[in-house]
Amino acid sequence: MQNVDMNDGGLRLRTGGEVSDNPNYPFSQSAMRHLIFCSEDRLNSKGETIPGNGLAKAGAIIRVGRKVLIELNAFDKWLENQRSAS
């Protein structure tokens, strides 16, 4: 996929694989897949809610059909919040 940079709005979109290939982010492809899967609240088999990691609420996940894109500005802010939370 071609990298998309929109200078007017500052939107930086990448796929999970492109993020994992970037040396600035310490995540493998499977780790990115897990972060995306756990980005929203979901239900377990008993109907109980499992809280998500907040990545979707941060606006870092953009879904277009089956394609999942990561908005890097929001992803960077989410990462910074994770560091300050621990």
Q: Enumerate residue ranges in the chain where pLDDT < 50.
A: 1, 6-7
The pLDDT of residue 76:
95
Decide: 77 and 58 in contact? Cβ < 8 Å.
yes
pTM of structure: 0.82
The pLDDT of residue 55:
96
The H-assigned helical ranges of 1-86 are: 16-21, 29-37, 72-85
Q: Which pair of tokens denotes residue 4? A: 């998309």
**pLDDT (tens digit per residue) in 61-79:** 999 999 999 999 999 999 9
